[in-house]
Amino acid sequence: MGRTRSFDLDDALDTAVEMFWRQGFEATSIQNLCQAMEIQPGSVYAAFGSKRELFVATVRRYVETVSADAAERLTGVESGLQGLRDYFAHLVDAMVEGKRRWGCLITNSLVELTQRDPELAGLLTEHLARLRAAFAAALARAAGDGELRPGAGPESAGLLVAVVQGMNVLAKTRPGRAELQAVADSALAGLTP
């Protein structure tokens, strides 16, 4: 009979999310992960199987927590335009004062791993598709309420995903609030009358 797990899986995943988010997959050793999670290597392998599988679990955890919160900002208010403004305001805050100063785990991983790991690339691309869908829903509400300029609408969702991905990369250079806010404001100004 196997031993009972003596650590909290959610706490371990949250710690691993931060490690991979800050350092990337390659630069994060299993030893560093074990030390940060305060778990023995054997327990990590027993719980997750491999460093790659732990990484996949952290990506899923990130999507369930950080990304779900972002999508809620887009869809949690009646006004589509207000949802977009709330999303970008929170994004800028997180890039200046929070963990998004490390960029985005999804964006960072796309840059680092997609050429080498098609399965993981699919998981990351799935996330971008969900973000695009959340933007499209907010844009559809905004267009329906007359908050957007003629010709702007759900088809602009891909543009907003590209802006966010660019901001995620830019955040790693610590550009400051004014520069990040100017990017967000410009993106929304191109959609509004």
CA geometry: angle at 99 spanning 95 and 102, to 5°?
75
| Helix boundaries (H) for 38-79 | 41-48, 51-62, 68-75
For range 98-105, the mean pLDDT: 89
pLDDT in tens, 144-162: 999 999 999 999 999 999 9
- Domains of the chain (ranges, CATH numbers): 62-189 (1.10.357.10)
pLDDT in tens, 118-135: 888 888 898 899 899 999
Residues 81 and 192: beta-carbon distance below 8 Å: yes
For range 5-9, the mean pLDDT: 77
pLDDT in tens, 54-68: 999 999 998 888 778
pLDDT score of 99 more than 90: no
| Sequence-ordered strand ranges (E) for the chain | none
Query: Does the predicted model carry a pTM greater than 0.85?
Result: yes
